[in-house]
């Protein structure tokens, strides 16, 4: 499911990616959810989802964060 969500993000299919992760509570789903809200510019919502994942809002670029998420997904 995480790989599929990340593939949707890469394809510019935000809604499909969001639907996959919005009801999940695991750390990677929360991080992907946070990324999606960051991408749309909803920083308060993004910060909420990073907190749900046990992290703070990162100071990296969106491409850097996407690469980090892909690396986390591949490490599972």
**Given pLDDT bands bounded at 50, 70 and 90, which one contains residue 64?**
very high
Residue 75 has pLDDT above 90, yes or no: no
**C-alpha dist (Å) from residue 30 to 2, 47, 50:** 10, 10, 7
Class of domain 2-74 (CATH, top level): mainly alpha
Question: In whole angstroms, what is the distance from residue 73 CA to residue 28 CA?
Answer: 7
What letter does residue 13 receive in the DSSP assignment? -
Model pLDDT for residues 6-63, shown as the tens digit of each residue:
999 999 999 999 999 999 999 999 999 999 999 999 999 999 999 999 999 999 999 9
> Which residue matches tokens 């599929």?
4
């Amino acid at each position: 499911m995480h790989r599929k969500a990340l593939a949707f993000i890469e394809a510019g299919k935000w809604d499909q990616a969001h639907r996959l992760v919005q009801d999940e509570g695991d750390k990677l789903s929360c991080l992907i959810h946070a990324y999606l809200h960051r991408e749309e510019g909803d920083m308060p919502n993004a910060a909420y989802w990073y907190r749900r994942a046990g992290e703070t809002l990162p100071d990296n670029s969106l491409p850097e964060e996407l690469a980090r998420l892909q690396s986390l997904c591949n490490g599972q």
